[in-house]
Chains A and B, each alone.
Chain A
Amino acid sequence: MVQVRLSGTFKSYAGGRDAFEIEAANVRQLLDGLGEACPKLRPILDKGVAVAIDGEIYRDSWFQSLRPDSEVFILPRLAGG
């Protein structure tokens, strides 16, 4: 199980809850699991988010692997200038 934390606007789609335990070995499984655990979040996740894993921000990496003790945050998908 991976613990994933929500921030930004995401908590509001999870009824104020900011942490979930998800069975996932990679980012894709994490997003699928989170969408199942919190259906209101699914369209937001499908639209595009960033996933911070152990301090590194990933924007589009479904197959990035996760360890059970990985620090994982769902963050807004940002763009630069």
Chain B
Amino acid sequence: MPRDDVTAETRQSFTKVGTRPLRPDGVDKVTGRARFGADMAAPGMLIGKVLRSPHAHARIRSIDTSKAEALPGVKAVVTRDDFANRTDELRDILVNVMAREKALYEGHAVAAVAAVSAAVARKALRLIEVDYELLPHVIDVEEAMRPDSVLLHDDMFTAGVDPVPDQPSNVAKRCEFGHGEVEKGFAEADIVIERSFRTEASHQGYIEPHACLASVGADGQGELWCCTQGHFMVRDTCAALLGMDVSRLRVIASEIGGGFGGKTTVFIEPVALTLSRKAGRPVKLVMTRDEVFRASGPTASTSVWVRIGVTKDGRITAGEAVLKYQGGAFAGSPVEPGAMTAFACYDLENVRAIGYDVVTNRPKQAAYRAPGAPMAAFAVESVVAELADRIGMDPIEFRLKNASREGTRSAYGPTFGPIGLVETLKAAKAHPHYSAPLGNNQGRGVASGFWFNFGGQTCVSLNINIDGTVGLAVGTPDIGGSRASMCLMAAEELGIEYDRVRVIVADTSSLGFNDVTDGSRVTFASGMATIQAARDAVKKLCARAARMWDIPEDAVVWEGGYAKPAGANAGDFQPLSLRDIAAAAAKTGGPIAGHWEFNAENAGPSFATHIVDAEVDPETGRTSILRYTVVQDAGKAVHPSYVEGQFQGGAAQGIGWALNEEYIYGADGKLQNPGFLDYRMPVASDLPMIDTVIVEVPNPGHPYGVRGVGETSIVPPLAAVANAVSAAAGVRLTSLPMSPPKILAALEAEKGAQAAE
């Protein structure tokens, strides 16, 4: 952390942190009182609707909106002409928000209307005439990389290659990480296994569709209510796209029904603001589920090749991977973190990971929990499992023998500080799950995973109220129970009860800039800011007590929620509680508040190891998940229930990604399953209770040792489930999702191979 006044020591004992009180927003959430993105209304409000491309790839020759504009009840129509062109880093976001020269994927926005009702708005969309010149399309990552592929952007020249290619392609970037001499390492191996793997695009699957209400007044000042993981990001991006001063746009984050990374960018918000500005009235815009699937970000689909060599006694001599990720129609697939994390769990002398960022005619990918890492882990951990089996070594012992630990030079470069991978492996091996018996057609899989975790810009205010209660304003939307964690940390520092602290997610005009709720950063960064703001308030509380006692400020200490004289020489005074000092605040100098703003660094990486038992029905190819255990390093679990919830949620999403979820495209480049009936996410009846073990290896970069936990939990499950299914089926599965038809085909192929032998 750049500020040397942030306390670096790791606190060991707690009275509030580590307990499990009810979440402060719980009653609102279960009674329907909580207000989500679509719950806001305003007088005179219009309904916005978006016209989307029915074609996977088409040049837009012209857009005629005259008939729609003439329809009674239509108050505004916007197209590309209503958004100023850009050439900077916001260009791709702008083009994704509203198509310009070309529609780059089915579902790409090409126009939008605001009307007095949804019915009129829908009718108006049908009256907009778009003249398309159809173009051939490409959906598959390998096809998109071919030299003769359809080209999406004639100005895309592969970055990361020297010299820069003289021909455009669909490969936006090449990256490479690693060290040592890979071929020398493979020459030292007794066994080398190489395999190719595929994963399909999966959607974050948040329950709440994107929704917003925009209101721009005649004076050019705007307000935007929206569901987002980062309202400061929304404000700055929208203000730039609309040419507004940042100070003239106030964004209020609603409650959020899930995000998982998918709400870390803008889609409909700039459109709603532009419609409102044009109509002079508030505009509400809510995506349908169909639109969420077709036009908001799923994650990348991938093709990954892995080669790993080992000695007979289980030492990995070299690891190599080539990762190809398509991230939709724009550069920016998460292949870099994929390549960096692929071998992060292993202490390797010789390692190389090469990544390619590829564009296709699909919606622009958005971040999804530990972006890029689960697909890489699927490939690497599958080969690791196969190697352990081949040399007859227990898979956890094999991982322990090669595990990254403090002092290991990571596969992506830097040397690890204190990390908890070994602790998760040992805890997994000791867990009763690992030694439980298995039945027929059942298999057990293990996999480990890594994520960096991030900090970021953070600003909080903590106000002491007149009755001694505390109001805490944070700028990071609560998507995982973070308000409860903030209350606990504030209560811990102030020495008051948990329910004496109330947290709000403040709007963009009330706090300094806060980065998005992403990167597993909130309990770490907003939590650290909360701790420091509380300490700032404590200093002021002690100063007020000193004035009331007429003694020097440094003669007062804060203990257990009371200001006390520090030692016998300070005088003999009855301790003053926070409530006492707050009640006298008006007469001792006015309001008392703590504040903290900083750029949090040193988030401390997180590792996890998962164990899963699966049963495969050889007749139908259907997989049942019988038992699942997550073991993960949390550094310090502030609210263990929400840490466990993050562990369980990541595992559940990973199971869906491994077994069922996929974007299915027709030959026409159109998505075939844009709904939850055909895009099959796991429901409660599909899953066993997911057991959890919290490992705590303190992060020295946080006063309590906290590490983020929101993302690492989705890194191992793809591989863990694949290893379990492969063990149960007796054949290695290399393509996700492992749907029944794929498993049956693999079983048939294995039978055929055995018959041929």
Do A and B associate with each other?
yes
* Contact count A vs B, C-beta below 8 Å: 116
Check B65 for interface membership: any CB of A closer than 8 A.
no
Check B594 for interface membership: any CB of A closer than 8 A.
no
Q: Are A80 and B416 in contact (CB under 8 A)?
A: no
CA distance A67 to B415 in the complex (A): 16
- The answer to whether residues A52 and B413 also contact, given A16-B162, A60-B457, A80-B518 and a CB cut-off of 8 A, is yes
CA distance A12 to B368 in the complex (A): 28
- Sort chain A's interface into a size bin: 20 to 34
Residues of chain B lying within 8 A (CB to CB) of residue A76: 175, 336-337, 340
In the complex, which residues 147-176 of chain B have their Cβ closer than 8 Å to any Cβ of chain A?
159-162, 173-176
Check B453 for interface membership: any CB of A closer than 8 A.
yes
Q: Are A54 and B519 in contact (CB under 8 A)?
A: no
Q: Are A61 and B521 in contact (CB under 8 A)?
A: no
Tell me how far the C-beta of B424 lies from the nearest C-beta in chain A, rounded to whole angstroms: 19
Check B57 for interface membership: any CB of A closer than 8 A.
no
Residues of chain B lying within 8 A (CB to CB) of residue A9: 159-160, 173-176
Q: Mark B408-420, 1 if CB is under 8 A from A, else 0.
A: 0000111111000
Tell me how far the C-beta of A63 lies from the nearest C-beta in chain B, rounded to whole angstroms: 6
Q: Are A79 and B367 in contact (CB under 8 A)?
A: yes
Q: Are A75 and B519 in contact (CB under 8 A)?
A: no
Check B452 for interface membership: any CB of A closer than 8 A.
yes
Check A32 for interface membership: any CB of B closer than 8 A.
no
Residues of chain A lying within 8 A (CB to CB) of residue B262: 81
Check A20 for interface membership: any CB of B closer than 8 A.
no
Q: Mark A51-81, 1 if CB is under 8 A from B, else 0.
A: 0101111111101100000010101101111
Contact of A80 among B2, B371, B601, B602 (CB under 8 A): B371
Check A42 for interface membership: any CB of B closer than 8 A.
no
Residues of chain A lying within 8 A (CB to CB) of residue B305: none
Residues of chain A lying within 8 A (CB to CB) of residue B174: 9, 12
Residues of chain B lying within 8 A (CB to CB) of residue A12: 159-162, 174
Q: Are B336 and A78 in contact (CB under 8 A)?
A: yes
Q: Closest residue to B262 on the A side, CB-wise? A: A81
In the complex, given contacts A5-B413, A61-B601, what are 9 additional A-B residue pairs having Cβ atoms less than 8 angstroms apart? A7-B177, A8-B176, A54-B415, A57-B414, A75-B340, A78-B454, A79-B264, A79-B367, A79-B519
Which residues of B are at the interface with A, using a C-beta cutoff of 8 A? 2, 89, 159-162, 173-178, 204, 260-262, 264, 336-337, 339-340, 366-371, 412-417, 451-457, 518-521, 599, 601-603, 701, 710-711
20 A-B pairs (CB sep. < 8 Å): A8-B177, A8-B339, A9-B159, A9-B160, A9-B175, A11-B162, A56-B701, A59-B455, A60-B457, A61-B601, A63-B2, A71-B414, A73-B413, A75-B414, A79-B264, A79-B519, A80-B454, A80-B521, A81-B518, A81-B711
The 10 closest A-B pairs by CB, nearest first: A81-B261, A80-B519, A9-B160, A81-B367, A52-B414, A12-B162, A73-B413, A61-B2, A80-B518, A8-B175
